[in-house]
Structure 1
């Protein structure tokens, strides 16, 4: 009887363990089923979000950020740039009419002078003595002539005596006039109204005809003069509009062509173009200027920055932005620059682009044809 009791007890323990094992297995199965259901829900949500992002064109497509410009017709002007200089229409180097020594200088640089004003005086002391002697001789001749004439009027004396006195008197007058004219030549006079620009003489220096002494400039009549290549002679006409730039003044003025030379320089094959300048105290003779003459004008052109034009073995091209199925892509567009029509960094395009095209102007260096782009 004692042997049956332990056996029954062991059977009871095994039965309980089996029940506990079956209960944990069922719980794990239920948890696995719930997790699989959650996984399905999460995958559905992920797929839905991916579809939404793709439909909206979001980060599922990698794009390159660029800058763009919508093309429109605009005026294009081409200018011929010519190195030029300012000239005084009345820019005169005054020289002496006779040899002599400078006695007095009556002006300094910057003085305003009038036409005929004495600028300097040569030493005329000897000439003045001759004039005084001649004046005395003339006075004597005049007295003798008047007395001889009075006698001749009274029929006293001979006709020869009267004519001799008259001839001597007139001769003395002519001699005195010649000496006075010589004395006037001892004065350096300004031939124009203007400003004394330079005094190239000193007191005591000798001067001679043809040697410069004083330069007088009339700043009211300045002009710009430049030499233009012969190739442009058919493109430039009197009255054409142009621009004149003064690099030292950092200014630019607009004017018109006032004169075109009729001959071609045989050495450098150029012709001269002149432009009248408005009055301005900042303009000075011999100042450097750049003459910009307009030789071409198109009122409605496609114009783009020349620096964005690239080249490959097929020729010149640019990138434009084109919409493909809702995605902006960089599209290679071959272009033709009108021959010679590039000025101030801008080029006129004769083929390959039209108004309304979106031109890629920033970031084009790293693009390939067909790349997705954004602005």
Structure 2
């Protein structure tokens, strides 16, 4: 009887262990969640255009400094700053009273020298005096006339006129100021702004990239084939006219490591003027490039990472090298090809080797910019 009882207890224990194990396996199966869903897309090539902004300064296509050719006090200023003037229009007038007195004295010396010549001519003809004396008198007369011409020229220089059609800049001297040809500061600057120059700079790498990407065998051909440029004005708006690169200095500035570029813009509405500032927006076309949305990437130890979908619906991290940025996209130089599928969002929730439930998304939908819910 006792053995039967022991056998019963042993059998019951085995049964309970088996039942317990079965329940444990069922509980574990019930606790394991299904793989989380993540959108994925097949990599494709696409031609996109990005833009890089460069600070620029604006100058009139012709900037002519107006300077005095003679010394004197300014008697009258005939124009105001910003005024449109014509070539030859009077801008300044210098006081000429002392010059007029000098001209009178010079004219008197001419008269004296002329009298001397007239007196000596008959004496030379009669061989009373040497011809050398007459030649000396004639030389004195010529010198007197030259002096007079110099004085009258200075009187003419006292009227200072515009050298070109254009707009008057800052007027640096006013009535009563004493000026001279040696002054470092011009009276004003007249700028022709029917067309303007925009000056900006490339660093060495940017300059080389531009020359390599532009079509043409020579530098002149590459410049001619450069893309149209946009100008962003100081108020943030885009200027209505497109510009073109005309030339570059051709030499790297050893102090700054940059090369100066000159672009030209038409200015039919005279919005731009000498001294304006802005930004040149330079387009860069990436032909048949691999692009990915920035939302599909994350940074780790200075590297840009992305999750590829591999066998068994697992994700695997991969380092990608970025060539450029276009809106919400990265242009990929290396690390991906068109055989790859990538996770396009939610990458912050993933770890290397995670199994996911992939949701196929079209490439165009994957790279579409996300519309913000709120705007400032």
- TM class by smaller structure: 0.5 to 0.7
Unmatched tracts of structure 2, length 5 or more: 1-33, 212-218, 362-376
**2:276 matched to which residue of 1?**
287
Counterparts of 2:42 and 2:147 in 1: how far apart (Å)?
88
**1:120 matched to which residue of 2?**
92
Secondary structure in structure 1 of the residue aligned to 2:169: strand
User: Are residues 65 and 303 of structure 1, via their aligned partners in 2, closer, same or farther at CA, if it must alter by over 3 Å?
Assistant: closer
**1:131 matched to which residue of 2?**
103
Counterparts of 1:337 and 1:254 in 2: how far apart (Å)?
35
Counterparts of 2:250 and 2:358 in 1: how far apart (Å)?
60
The TM-score, its normalising length taken from structure 1, stands at 0.65
1:271 aligns with 2:259: yes
1:219 aligns with 2:208: no
Counterparts of 2:207 and 2:304 in 1: how far apart (Å)?
32
Q: 1:125 Cα shift?
A: 0.8
Q: 1:338 Cα shift?
A: 3.7
User: Are residues 374 and 81 of structure 1, via their aligned partners in 2, closer, same or farther at CA, if it must alter by over 3 Å?
Assistant: closer
Counterparts of 1:62 and 1:308 in 2: how far apart (Å)?
19
User: Looking at CA atoms only, which structure, 1 or 2, has the larger radius of gyration?
Assistant: 1
**1:190 matched to which residue of 2?**
162
CA contact (8 A) 1:337 1:347 kept: no
Task: Indicate which of 52, 73, 87 corresponds to 2:59.
Answer: 87
Counterparts of 1:154 and 1:107 in 2: how far apart (Å)?
59
Counterparts of 1:371 and 1:265 in 2: how far apart (Å)?
56
Q: 1:104 Cα shift?
A: 0.9
**Number of aligned residue pairs:** 304
**1:210 matched to which residue of 2?**
184
Unmatched tracts of structure 1, length 5 or more: 1-60, 325-329
Q: 1:364 Cα shift?
A: 6.8
**1:300 matched to which residue of 2?**
288
User: Are residues 331 and 190 of structure 1, via their aligned partners in 2, closer, same or farther at CA, if it must alter by over 3 Å?
Assistant: farther
User: Are residues 194 and 75 of structure 1, via their aligned partners in 2, closer, same or farther at CA, if it must alter by over 3 Å?
Assistant: same
**1:8 matched to which residue of 2?**
none
Secondary structure in structure 2 of the residue aligned to 1:227: strand
Counterparts of 2:253 and 2:358 in 1: how far apart (Å)?
58
- Paired residues for 1:53-64 under 5 Å: none
Q: 1:270 Cα shift?
A: 1.8
CA contact (8 A) 1:337 1:348 kept: no
Q: Cα deviations across residues 9-30 of structure 1 (Å, max 9, x unaligned)? A: xxxxxxxxxxxxxxxxxxxxxx
Q: Cα deviations across residues 24-54 of structure 1 (Å, max 9, x unaligned)? A: xxxxxxxxxxxxxxxxxxxxxxxxxxxxxxx
- Paired residues for 1:20-39 under 5 Å: none
Counterparts of 2:339 and 2:96 in 1: how far apart (Å)?
81
**1:257 matched to which residue of 2?**
245
Counterparts of 1:334 and 1:72 in 2: how far apart (Å)?
19
Q: 1:293 Cα shift?
A: 4.1
Secondary structure in structure 2 of the residue aligned to 1:273: strand
User: Are residues 311 and 173 of structure 1, via their aligned partners in 2, closer, same or farther at CA, if it must alter by over 3 Å?
Assistant: closer
Q: 1:261 Cα shift?
A: 1.9
**2:144 matched to which residue of 1?**
172
Q: 1:139 Cα shift?
A: 4.2
Secondary structure in structure 2 of the residue aligned to 1:257: strand
CA contact (8 A) 1:334 1:352 kept: no
